Structure 1
Amino acid sequence: MRNFNSILIANRGEIAVRVIKTAKSLGYRTIAVYSEADAAALHVRIADEAMLIGPAPVQQSYLDMTKILAAAKETGAEAIHPGYGFLSENADFARACEDAGIVFIGPSAEAIDLMGNKAAAKRRMIAADVPCVPGYEDHDQSDGTLVAAAKDIGFPIMVKAAAGGGGRGMRLVHEEKNLVDALASARSEALNAFGSEELILEKAIIEPRHVEVQVFADNHGNVVHLGERDCSVQRRHQKVVEEAPCPVMTPELREKMGSAAVEAARSINYRGAGTVEFLLDAGNNFYFLEMNTRLQVEHPVTEMVTGNDLVSLQIQVAQGEPLGIEQQDVKLNGHAIEVRLYAEDTAQDFLPCTGKITTWQAADGDGVRFDAGIDSGQDISPFYDPMIAKVIAHGESREIARHRLIEALKNTVIFGLTTNRGFLIDILNEETFAKGEATTAFIGDLFDGERLAAKIPDQIEMAMAAVLLYQVERERAKSAAIFVTEQLMDWSSGGELLTRYVFPAAEDQIDVTVAPKREGGYNVMVGEAALVIEVLERSENRALLTVDGSRKRVHYEALSEGVLEFTDGGKTLRFINEIAFPEATASAAGSGQVTAPMHGTLLEVFVKAGDTVDVGTRLAVLEAMKMQHDIQAEVAGVVQNVIATAASQVSIDDLLFEIEVPE
């Protein structure tokens, strides 16, 4: 190892911002890299220097190690921090850094190689006597061999991509008859995501907890663990909520799991930050799952309960210094919970969303931390993971941390883009989670389509939205008018001035009228319901109102004429005054025109002109934000035109298919 004074961060978004902040606080010169899509991104603005490395697609920018190394050479960077994702677990990149005389802030290439392949890692852990899930991890990848192995293991079976993670290339198979199809789809997804079709099989542990142990090792033989994190709240094998410590952990179990994790790291001469992941069953039996040879997304909860800055420790170890921590020094203080804020529409099967964040204001609060790489006015592109921020709360107890996190989510202002904030609040409020009883089955069991459906505004929310729209429109009218007084703005020669709004709600349209009162406030009719609303305070994005005397503090944004986004207690709604958009309200449903739901790449097209399709027929597979999405027919009929072609890039709302609907 050699000393260094400058660090290039080979990543983007919130992790790049987080690494840059720590590195700068330690006195290092920081260099950001960015794609054309990220030219105005926060990590670019806060770094000491920044280098453009290519177009938006990751293969031409953040995954191009040649361009990363060229940027390091041009800027004189002496070390590279890979963050997580992208090149962080690429052994060839770690070797290339070493060959170029650049310090790679991470483990050795050999450790990355070994633990980056689930099959090889599992074989090594079995040799090291680390408890492992029964399964198949050998080299023969033929369907016949895998089917035979699955029969020996016993169903249900988990099919996993050997080279990957994050839920990609993973399938749960309950019956033998579904295994061959699951192998084919897992191989396809694994090849696209990781460049390898290799699979492993594991006995499915039903409804376990997903518990991981943070390990740290230096070059002087010191290996410690920094406690565990419970990451059981997952959707499609992707983590949504993480916490430290695990709610059901005991000192004895922590010692056993921690010792197994330390032994796993020691057996491969590990260096730096790593995470050993386990499945924990109801009987407190634990099984090795995989080892992540990098910083984890959820590392902040460990930082908050141990008081250690893990990025600072990474840099310290990369400099060749000893950890300075022994196992007896590690103390867990209180509880921390983290949620991942995604740009996605939970009502549309968690479809990733793109667009502009018009307003972003992170909430303040005791024990609350935001790790974010976004800002107001920033575009969220389709080229990267939809996670836009992490919100973390710490407290003396788990319950305090949970309440602080809920309030932080409610009081954060984010407009212009659909997010999963309401879903996160619902998770944290759910009794099963509050009791610390959530397993990996939690979301699937409790959040069905009905619960995830788009929220319908109630009468009070409609009334408040109408009043806020009225005030915004009134101010705009005043700024454009000459010789208009306050009185004339609110009153006509006939007396009280009524302003009408029509808001869609489920299958209905709701009439709302707003009438200013002479003594202040507004009489509002929502259908047949009469409400009195006063606006006590109102700034650009926040308002304090009373509804029939009851106070309500809300966030809002008037996006354009007749359109208002509105958040009440974390519930985000969009109100469109249909009077302002008479033509736009005509429904296109049933037209037979199938458009792209987002930007992405069409991997496969399954139909041709002349084919007959039913509602739900699979038309194509779209890959966007590192995930695959089925495009299905919403009407029954005959395919008249196929514009979509496999391996082509498409943009949101591009026409893909035309289906003729029988009369």
Structure 2
Amino acid sequence: MFKKVLVANRGEIAVRIIRTLKEMGIGTVAIYSTADKDSLHVQVADEAICVGGPKPADSYLNMKNVVTAALLTGAEAIHPGYGFLSENSLFAEMVGDVNIKWIGPRPETIDLMGNKEHARAEMTQAGVPVIPGSDGYIHNVDEAIEVSRKTGFPLLLKAAAGGGGKGMRFVYSEDELAENFINAQSEAKLSYGDDHMYIEKVMTDVRHIEMQVIRDQFGNVICLPERNCSLQRRNQKVMEESPAASVTPTMREELMDIVTKAVNAIDYENTGTIEFLQDQEGKFYFMEMNTRIQVEHPVTEMVTGLDLVRLQVEVAAGEELKLKQSDVKISGHAVEMRLTAEKPEANFAPSAGKVDFVFLPTGGPGVRIDSALYNGDTIQPFYDSMIAKLIAHDETRAEALAKLERMVDETSLVGVSTSQSFQKELLLDENVLTDNFGTKYLEDTFMPKWEEKMAETATK
């Protein structure tokens, strides 16, 4: 086992990883930007080293500086968390080149699955069902038009590289196609340095269902209970839960077979998440694979009792999985909501500044808070707006949602605006409570009502 691991991240995920490493008796190294010198992940780590200025490009995305930090501190492995360099195959390769272990899949696997069109082709070859769309890249408007006449509308233009909504456009008719293609391609080039595009048919009335999977170097595979991540705003997840109410035990077995087939086909190693769309008939279609730990991994941990970070570290250290699939049991239901430093009433504009006071409801059974906030902390304007994850676990979905509502009510933060009021409203929504929603519900149905309510409140 490793003696020392560098955590190449910040915020709540860095704190989360450091805690498990400490429980495993492994020394921890935090990296930080000059803006983050007083952050919690720096304080809880055994060692900390500055890797650059406030902007991510100067610090957390500075590959040479991060690798140098690992070498200077004698770290034997690097855990990248999520975001930043976690799915950067070049960085993973650099880490390996200096004989430091990468806690994640091989660089070539990251590269393969990080390119959506390559991943799609690989999954098709492996017999995994994929969403109808283009075969290969779309280079220009004429090619896009040709494909659209086969798939029909609506369709989705997607950047082959990257994720998180950049280089994506929904197109509802051929008249809209040319302008949207040019804009999406330009955005992809600007965001990822890659303007390769592809097209997927937009499937309506669908759910976003994903499954976490772990595979060791010996070929042992463990599939974990699926998550429903259908509540999304601007292609960003807002609430996640496990298990998915729309997935029956028979469907779960089918999904596990698909996921196992997929990871075996690419000789995957470590943990990852395969994302699917589930149609009204219960069939699953591959979207993409995230080759890292997910933001929403706590709901999976809550219903299985497993520590996914520990499993990641053990697999990276060359150990064989101690679990068999039959050992994985589902206990109750878990729901997670993301608390963000944003102003919901101002179109979710980012909010930054000093946290004068914060209280997060950490007590009681089935309650979990993943956060790096503390009284007197400063929320920086340079990074992602998520500042805490509120996770509730109980015997049933209804009980877990009720617990989460109580947690949201008790949350208090003074000094910075948060998404708390928006979360509260969402948890009171009848369709959310009855699990009657798909991937477009939040933006097409809930948000217009929310915005109307905000407008009325502003005029009073």
Q: Once the two structures are superposed, what CA deviation does each residue of 1:36-81 show, in whole Å capped at 9, x if it has no partner? A: 1111111111111111110111111111110000000111111000
Aligned-pair distance for 1:453?
5.8
Distance 1:338 1:22 in 2: 20
Aligned-pair distance for 1:139?
3.4
Contact 1:366 1:404 in 2 (8 A): no
Residue in 1 aligned with 2:367? 368
> Could you say if the C-alpha distance between residues 155 and 455 of structure 1 is closer, same or farther in structure 2, counting changes exceeding 3 Å?
closer
Residue 422, structure 1, aligned to residue 398, structure 2: no
> Could you say if the C-alpha distance between residues 450 and 401 of structure 1 is closer, same or farther in structure 2, counting changes exceeding 3 Å?
closer
The aligned amino acid for 1:156 is: P
Residue in 2 aligned with 1:127? 125
Q: 2:326 aligns with which of 328, 336, 351?
A: 328
Larger % of strand: which? 1
Distance 1:506 1:425 in 2: 18
Aligned-pair distance for 1:456?
9.4
Gaps of 5+ in 2: none
Aligned-pair distance for 1:446?
2.9
Residue in 2 aligned with 1:143? 141
Aligned-pair distance for 1:445?
3.1
What is the SS of the residue equivalent to 1:135?
Answer: coil
Distance 2:64 2:235 in 1: 32
Distance 1:281 1:305 in 2: 25
Contact 2:271 2:293 in 1 (8 A): yes
Distance 1:13 1:216 in 2: 24
Residue in 2 aligned with 1:285? 283
Residue in 2 aligned with 1:412? 411
> Could you say if the C-alpha distance between residues 269 and 66 of structure 1 is closer, same or farther in structure 2, counting changes exceeding 3 Å?
same
Q: 1:353 aligns with which of 346, 351, 354?
A: 351
What is the SS of the residue equivalent to 1:284?
Answer: coil
The aligned amino acid for 2:55 is: P
Residue in 2 aligned with 1:528? none
Distance 1:260 1:428 in 2: 32
Q: Once the two structures are superposed, what CA deviation does each residue of 1:585-626 show, in whole Å capped at 9, x if it has no partner? A: xxxxxxxxxxxxxxxxxxxxxxxxxxxxxxxxxxxxxxxxxx
What is the SS of the residue equivalent to 2:225?
Answer: strand
Q: How does 1:480-495 map to 2 (within 5 A)?
A: none
Residue in 1 aligned with 2:300? 302
Structure having the higher Rg: 1
Q: Once the two structures are superposed, what CA deviation does each residue of 1:321-370 show, in whole Å capped at 9, x if it has no partner? A: 01111111111000000011111111222222222221111112321101
Residue in 1 aligned with 2:45? 47
Residue in 1 aligned with 2:399? 400
Q: 2:309 aligns with which of 303, 308, 311?
A: 311
Distance 1:59 1:456 in 2: 38
Aligned-pair distance for 1:450?
5.2
Percent identical residues? 46
Residue in 1 aligned with 2:31? 33
Gaps of 5+ in 1: 458-504, 509-663
What is the SS of the residue equivalent to 2:226?
Answer: strand
Distance 2:423 2:454 in 1: 14
Residue in 2 aligned with 1:606? none
What is the SS of the residue equivalent to 1:216?
Answer: strand
Residue in 2 aligned with 1:189? 187
Contact 1:346 1:453 in 2 (8 A): no
Residue in 1 aligned with 2:378? 379
Contact 1:365 1:404 in 2 (8 A): no
What is the SS of the residue equivalent to 1:51?
Answer: strand
Q: Once the two structures are superposed, what CA deviation does each residue of 1:196-225 show, in whole Å capped at 9, x if it has no partner? A: 221110000112100001100001110120
Aligned-pair distance for 1:137?
4.3
Distance 2:56 2:453 in 1: 32
Q: How does 1:417-456 map to 2 (within 5 A)?
A: 417-449=416-448, 451-452=450-451
Of the two structures, which has the highest relative contact order with CA contacts closer than 8 Å and spacing of 6 or more? 2
What is the SS of the residue equivalent to 1:279?
Answer: strand
What is the SS of the residue equivalent to 1:447?
Answer: helix
Contact 1:304 1:394 in 2 (8 A): yes
Contact 1:365 1:408 in 2 (8 A): no
> Could you say if the C-alpha distance between residues 133 and 50 of structure 1 is closer, same or farther in structure 2, counting changes exceeding 3 Å?
same
Residue 203, structure 1, aligned to residue 197, structure 2: no
Residue 67, structure 1, aligned to residue 65, structure 2: yes
Larger % of helix: which? 2
Q: Once the two structures are superposed, what CA deviation does each residue of 1:248-292 show, in whole Å capped at 9, x if it has no partner? A: 111110011111011111111101111010000111121000000
Contact 2:40 2:373 in 1 (8 A): yes
Contact 1:136 1:201 in 2 (8 A): yes
Q: 1:266 aligns with which of 259, 264, 267?
A: 264
Distance 2:183 2:458 in 1: 36
Residue in 2 aligned with 1:179? 177
What is the SS of the residue equivalent to 2:224?
Answer: strand
The TM-score, its normalising length taken from structure 1, stands at: 0.68
The aligned amino acid for 2:370 is: D
> Structure 1 segments of 4 or more deviating over 4 A?
453-457, 505-508
Aligned-pair distance for 1:449?
4.5
> Could you say if the C-alpha distance between residues 506 and 232 of structure 1 is closer, same or farther in structure 2, counting changes exceeding 3 Å?
closer
Distance 2:296 2:193 in 1: 26
Q: Once the two structures are superposed, what CA deviation does each residue of 1:378-416 show, in whole Å capped at 9, x if it has no partner? A: 222221111111110000111111111110111011111
Contact 2:138 2:198 in 1 (8 A): no
Distance 1:181 1:57 in 2: 32
What is the SS of the residue equivalent to 1:183?
Answer: helix
Contact 2:141 2:177 in 1 (8 A): no
